[in-house]
Amino acid sequence: MLISPKSLAGFTLIELMIVITVIGVLLAVGLPEASNWIQNSKIRARSESISNGLQLARAEAVRRNTRIQLMLTNSIPNAATLPALAAGNTGSTTGVNWAVMTYQPTGVYTAADFVQGGGNEVTASSAAVSSTDATVIFNGLGRTDIGAANLTIQVTNPTGGACVTVSGPMRCLNVVVLPGGQIRMCDPSIATGAGDTRAC
């Protein structure tokens, strides 16, 4: 059986050019939004990591009925590095990593005080952290030592641009710790009077 030449026909040059043009237009429209989505996801991942660390510290304090501390740090947190990174209970208000440890008022720690670490970044990714304090301590009742004011940890992404609150493309987030020990993640760009639970 012979195959007719019409059944062997492929794409014409004009059809191929139309397909390439349509793909180009779709990429030109979609790539900036995809880039913003990736940069925003870095903010959310960093915020969730810090929130999880705070939840762990609070749960451990209640479980052990002792004071447990979360410290923000730029070092890699593990049992071996804890004595050096926690010395003096200072930490870093811009730390992208966190360490949960048994609190020692003297500021002298051993590897046995280490509970868990998070972030584990050698260099900071595009998500940046700015906190009102580098440490927070939870007691056996799950309450904090921060006094009457809230502890606010802001997570931004300067690489992706400014936050929505200042007309930028980034959906920046805050992790807020209340004196009673409650921990919540919120969006500072949402008006507080709107009744939206995501608002700070």
- Look up the CATH number of the domain holding residue 166: 3.55.40.10
Whether 127 and 157 have beta carbons less than 8 Å apart is answered as yes
Sign of CA dihedral 115, 116, 121, 125: negative
136 part of a folded domain? yes
87 part of a folded domain? yes
What residues contact 66, with CB distance under 8 A and at least 6 apart?
Answer: 102, 103, 140
E-assigned strand segments in 77-127: 97-102, 114-118
65 part of a folded domain? yes
26 part of a folded domain? yes
140 part of a folded domain? yes
9 part of a folded domain? no
Total domain count, the chain = 1
Residue 126, number of CB atoms within 10 A of its CB: 15
Give pLDDT, residue 41: 87
7 part of a folded domain? no
Residues of the chain with pLDDT under 70: 1-9, 30-32, 120-125, 194
Give pLDDT, residue 5: 57
pTM of the model: 0.80
Q: In which domain, by residue range, is 179 found? A: 17-194
Dist. CA 48–CA 33, nearest whole Å? 22
11 part of a folded domain? no
